[in-house]
Structures are given as structure tokens and as C-alpha cells.
Amino acid sequence: MKSVRIKVKCLDKDLLPSYQSVGSSGLDLRSAVELTVYPGKISLVPTGLYLEIPLGYEAQIRPRSGLALKHGITVLNTPGTIDADYRGEIKVILINLSDNPFVVRKGDRIAQMVISEVIRAELELTDKVTETDRGEGGFGSTGID
């Protein structure tokens, strides 16, 4: 498996994220605070983490499926983008899509962070794009069966 070294400043060692199994794609992120995400509401959850991601990589913040399925808790902007040059605290934007308040305790694993390589586009202006069978069809144009 490929890996990349990332420097991390962590306000509290107990908040250091980790992979939960040998094949996990994401590092589980822990909440640095206790808070409640109320039904239908959005909360910005600090993680106590500051990263130095090498240029050419990014971090993506994704929901945990268990929280989504059991509690209706998801990441509003998924996948959240952590730019390589960002030096602020990593924060997670949670939304509660259930009818019940969701209590987050300090140290709870609230989301996961996947490190990814980034390919940047070199935009080349043109007056015409090539034709294809699909053409302008989209948004369900191929049907559902």
C-alpha cells in the first residue's frame, strides 16, 4: 500500500486519528469538544488537528456510515476538502438528519479522513469540444433498468 508522511500538530494526544483496521481507507477523526447536534441543525466540530500535507496531496473528510445509518449524522459538505496549504485546525461540518439530538463527547470518532493524490488541470481554451455517443445526455438519460 502507498503511504505519505504527514506532519501533524495535535492539541491532545488522545485526539490523534488512527486507521481502525489494516485495510481502512480513512483515519477516524475525533471530536475535540463535547457538543450536541440538534435535529435538522449543522455543527462545526473541531478536531484539535493541524496538518502539513505535502503539495500534490489533499485530505477528504467523509462521513462514517454507522453514524449515518444509526443516527442520521453525516458530513454536510462531503467530501470536505483539506487543501495542502491549509494550516488551520481541521473541522468537520456535521448535520443531523434524524429527529433526535445527537450528543458528541470529546474523543468520539465523528468522521473519517482519506488522503488522496491530486491531479491539477491545465485548462486549454477551445471553441469546440469533441462529439461522443452520449453527447449532451445526462441526469438519467440512460434510464434506470
Ligand X SMILES: O=c1ccn([C@H]2C[C@H](O)[C@@H](COP(=O)(O)OP(=O)(O)OP(=O)(O)O)O2)c(=O)[nH]1
With a CB cutoff of 8 Å and minimum separation 6, the contacts of 14 are 30, 107
Q: Which residues bind ligand X (CB under 6 A)?
A: 61, 77, 80-83, 86, 90-93
Nine cell digits for residue 75? 458530513
For ligand X, the closer of residues 95 and 102 by Cβ is: 95
83 is in an annotated binding site: yes
Tell me the closest approach of the beta carbon of residue 95 to ligand X, in angstroms.
Answer: 12
CB of 92 to ligand X, least distance (A): 6
Neighbours of 110 (CB within 10 A): 24
CB 61 to ligand X: min, Å? 4
Q: Has 108 been labeled as part of a binding site?
A: no
Angstrom distances, CA of residue 114 to CA of 15, 20, 41, 88, 143: 17, 13, 25, 18, 32
Residue ranges of the annotated binding site for substrate are: 64-66, 77, 81-83
